[in-house]
Structure 1
Amino acid sequence: MATQNKRTTTKLFGRGVSYGTSGQWNSYWLLFLRLVMGWWFFSSGLSKIVEYGVLYDAHGWMMFGTEGTIVYPITAWFAANAVWLPNLLIPWGQLLIGLGLIVGCLTRLAAANGAVLMFFFYFGNAEWGNGFVNGDLFGLLLFLTIIVFAAGRVWGIDAYLEGTNYVKNRPKLRYILG
């Protein structure tokens, strides 16, 4: 297999920037990143479902764990009015996000939903006990990386789906694939 070395040239803060990339190593890294993030969320969601079943309850975290944070108005509203939605979306959402990433299907959509959850987990951290730079921030950044680089196109179902006539005739679908 031949390795393609390409140079990417762009402007960053008004100055020209150029760096070399290796298509083969980028592909391996994106696949690895997608699988690790997928396993992280799949196993997290599965453990919640196995441990709590339909009794998973995020009410305490949403009402009291996020108090004083920028997401508190949103989480407090859900805790008071529609707690069933986060109770459903957190474990099952994590499970489906992880599964989507592992098989590379609807990868950008899955990663975008993972980024939303990580946004709430990160900004809902009331005490910042582990500092501002923590695992939740890295999870958010890695989900954004998966979105930007369309990691589902590397050994994923999305690569197959994007080659179908259905997707070719509806190019906007590519925004949730890859």
Structure 2
Amino acid sequence: MFVNLLRENRIVAAILTFIRVYIGYQWLVGGWGKITGGFDAEGFIQGAIGKATGDHPAVQGWWATFLENVALPGADIFTFLVMWGELLVGIALILGVFTNFAALMGILMNFAFLLSGTVSTNGQMILLTLFLLVAGYNAGRFGLDHYVIPFVRKIYTKNEKTAYVKPVEAH
């Protein structure tokens, strides 16, 4: 019943719009600050790896292993992905375009930050983003998704009807 309310109610869609724009603004500001402020993920990654030691580590060992063996050697790529990912997620959420995909990418970044030992506002952003994800299309109803999603569905259904699948022959 609650899920149907999130997914179908127009008043809830309006409330979700405020939540979506708020989260989008947070991502936009964070991403822009990193782009213009000379952000380098290497220091953040090293700090997270350092939090994996001691009696009560803030970072789990398996995550620190990932950071040490994958993220740290690719710090330049992660720097780019974090800066531009935050900015683009912010823009998409504010405009309400591909809202569900943007929310999914945002929540993945939030979880990565939490796993790396950074608490900040990530917990509240995850909670609010869950509402957007559960709401589906309704979260972007009052945004560009109102125009984009029907267009994409139309193209997809057209291609689905005209696609030829060769039947499998029995032996």
TM range (shorter): 0.7 to 0.9
Q: How many residues align?
A: 146
Rate the CA distance shift 1:163–1:82 in 2: closer, same or farther, 3 A: same
1:117-132 map, 5 Å: 117-125=109-117
Worse-superposed segment, 104-113 or 117-126:
117-126
Q: Which structure dedicates a bigger proportion of its chain to helix?
A: 2
Determine which structure has greater relative contact order: mean sequence separation of CA pairs < 8 Å that are 6+ residues apart, divided by chain length.
2
Number of the residue aligned with 2:144: 157
**What RMSD, in angstroms, separates the aligned Cα atoms of the two structures?**
2.6
Question: d(CA) in 1 for partners of 2:2 and 2:48?
Answer: 45
Number of the residue aligned with 1:61: 44
Rate the CA distance shift 1:22–1:100 in 2: closer, same or farther, 3 A: closer
The code of the aligned residue for 1:157 comes to: L
TM-score by length of 2: 0.74
Gaps of 5+ in 2: 53-58, 158-171
1:115 corresponds to which of 107, 110, 117: 107
TM-score by length of 1: 0.71
Contact 1:44 1:95 in 2 (8 A): yes
- Deviation track 1:14-37 (CA, whole Å, cap 9, x = no partner) reads xxxxx9x99243122100000000
SS in 2 for 1:81: coil
CA drift at 1:144: 2.3
Contact 2:96 2:145 in 1 (8 A): yes
Question: d(CA) in 2 for partners of 1:121 and 1:97?
Answer: 15
CA drift at 1:137: 1.4
Gaps of 5+ in 1: 1-7, 11-18, 172-178
Asked if residue 26 in structure 1 is aligned to residue 9 in structure 2, the reply is: no
Question: d(CA) in 2 for partners of 1:30 and 1:136?
Answer: 18
Q: Which runs of 4+ in 1 moved over 6 A?
A: none
Number of the residue aligned with 2:81: 89
Rate the CA distance shift 1:73–1:145 in 2: closer, same or farther, 3 A: farther
Question: d(CA) in 1 for partners of 2:68 and 2:131?
Answer: 30
Q: Which structure dedicates a bigger proportion of its chain to strand?
A: 1
Matched-pair identity in %: 23
